[in-house]
Amino acid sequence: MTKFETRAIHVAQDPDGRTGGVIPPIHMTTTHKQDGVGNLREGFEYNRAGNPTRQALQEALAALEGGRFGLSFSSGLAAEDAVIRGVLVPGDHVILANDMYGGSYRLFARVYVPWGITFTIVDLNNEAELEAAFVAGKTKMVWIETPSNPMMTIFDIAKVSAVAHKHGAVAVVDNTFATPYLQRPLELGADIVIHSTTKYLGGHSDVLGGAVVLNDGELAKKIEFIQFAVGAVSSPFDAWLTHRSIKTLALRMDRHCFNAQSVANYLETQTGTVSAVYYPGLESHPGHDIALKQMDGFGGMISFKLVGGIAAAKKFCENTRLFTLAESLGGVESLVNYPAEMTHASANGTPIEVPGDIVRLSVGVEHISDILADITQALDKI
């Protein structure tokens, strides 16, 4: 098999057969001509079931994660919904981690609990706590997000997946923060990988999307059925944009990693204003050793805690100039976020509530000296 960077550029991107266009056209169509009733061309009929541009993206996603099946959705949460409804039925139980994306928590707590799913929140790094959370005959899924959003906790994918399998549950990994360039959960024993491709895979803050990649044919059929029957698919244009962006993923991630490590190192020296820095590339990070083992780099996301508490955190967020105050992450431009009132507002009052003195940075690929200068001037304003 060719290397990651090569697959990112060439899988399902053969020049157009008819015209030789080096980039395949966007198939902006909802339906395909049949050469006789049920006599389909390459299996295409109605495009909720399949579209050539989406199919190309799905093949690329599978190739990057090293999985057999890739499915593309209109958002990360749509991808999660297809996995959850494909795998679980009312009455089932799920184990969640004590730090995760607020929207994923909201999906379980506000959509699936009324639908008859129950969940337990544990520290997935605490094996005794994890073991004790399984409900015999009912626990069907363990949900792992690593590095987690926003506290950058690292969970051991191989270890947690093995425990899940021992109890007959599937291990799902939200690989949004790491991307397949830095972490491939299927190789580590997980069953299903999900992504918000809105973030690093899309990489330019201009297209929403989600992905599911897995190896098991039976599970793939169930999730693909939800994709088809419910219909939260990527549009051809969204699929094309995402596929185009994937071609530079490796280049972008190398720079995100370099810039974020530099910022984390710098923040750790600012002990007058910064009381803690959460970045798995720091030796001081409790998950550093596991990250070294299961990741090929530490990514572009950092969270940190301010000595001055909530007021200082908000002041920092409102005084950056290069870092734009906005939700989302993973784009080429640097963003700053105040999780407690922005991305994780829905987690307030829940077991995964984010403290108010935390700031989250999505470190972009601008020049590092401009990035550091902006952080310095914003810290000076506190």
- Catalog residues that contact ligand PLP under the rule CB under 6 A: 75-77, 101, 103-104, 145, 149, 174, 176-177, 196, 198-199, 208, 210
> Residue 289 catalytic?
no
Query: CB of residue 74 vs ligand PLP: minimum separation in angstroms?
Result: 8
Query: CB of residue 208 vs ligand PLP: minimum separation in angstroms?
Result: 5
Q: Which one of the listed residues 54, 81, 85, 101 is annotated catalytic? A: 101
CB nearer to ligand PLP: pick between 207 and 322: 207
**CA nearest 184: which of 67, 92, 77, 10?**
67
Helix (H, G, I), strand (E, B) or coil at 304: strand
Give the Cα separation of 332 and 38 in Å (integer).
Answer: 45
Query: CB of residue 4 vs ligand PLP: minimum separation in angstroms?
Result: 21
Query: CB of residue 199 vs ligand PLP: minimum separation in angstroms?
Result: 6
Query: CB of residue 155 vs ligand PLP: minimum separation in angstroms?
Result: 13
**Cα–Cα separations (whole angstroms), residue 68 to 49, 111, 196, 232:** 18, 30, 19, 21
Q: At what angle do helices 368-380 and 309-319 cross, to 10 degrees?
A: 130
Concatenated DSSP letters of 5-59: HHHHHHTT-PPPTTT--SSPPP---SB---SSTT--BTTB-BTTT--HHHHHHHH
CB nearer to ligand PLP: pick between 50 and 147: 147
Q: Which one of the listed residues 199, 252, 314, 360 is annotated catalytic? A: 199
Chain centroid to Cα 310, Å, comes to 27
CB nearer to ligand PLP: pick between 198 and 320: 198
Q: Which one of the listed residues 48, 106, 244, 255 is annotated catalytic? A: 48
> Residue 48 catalytic?
yes
CB nearer to ligand PLP: pick between 13 and 303: 303
> Residue 101 catalytic?
yes
**CA nearest 54: which of 235, 247, 318, 207?**
235
Q: Which one of the listed residues 81, 92, 174, 238 is annotated catalytic? A: 174
Give the Cα separation of 270 and 122 in Å (integer).
Answer: 32
Question: How many CA atoms does the CB half-sphere of 202 hold within 13 Å?
Answer: 29
C-alpha torsion angle, residues 221, 226, 232, 233 (rounded to 10): 20
CB nearer to ligand PLP: pick between 196 and 235: 196
Query: CB of residue 197 vs ligand PLP: minimum separation in angstroms?
Result: 7
CB nearer to ligand PLP: pick between 296 and 327: 327
> Residue 244 catalytic?
no
**CA nearest 148: which of 377, 344, 379?**
344
Q: Please answer whether residues 111 and 139 qualify as being in contact, where contact means their C-beta atoms are separated by less than 8 angstroms.
A: no
Question: What amino acid positions are annotated as catalytic residues?
Answer: 48, 101, 174, 199
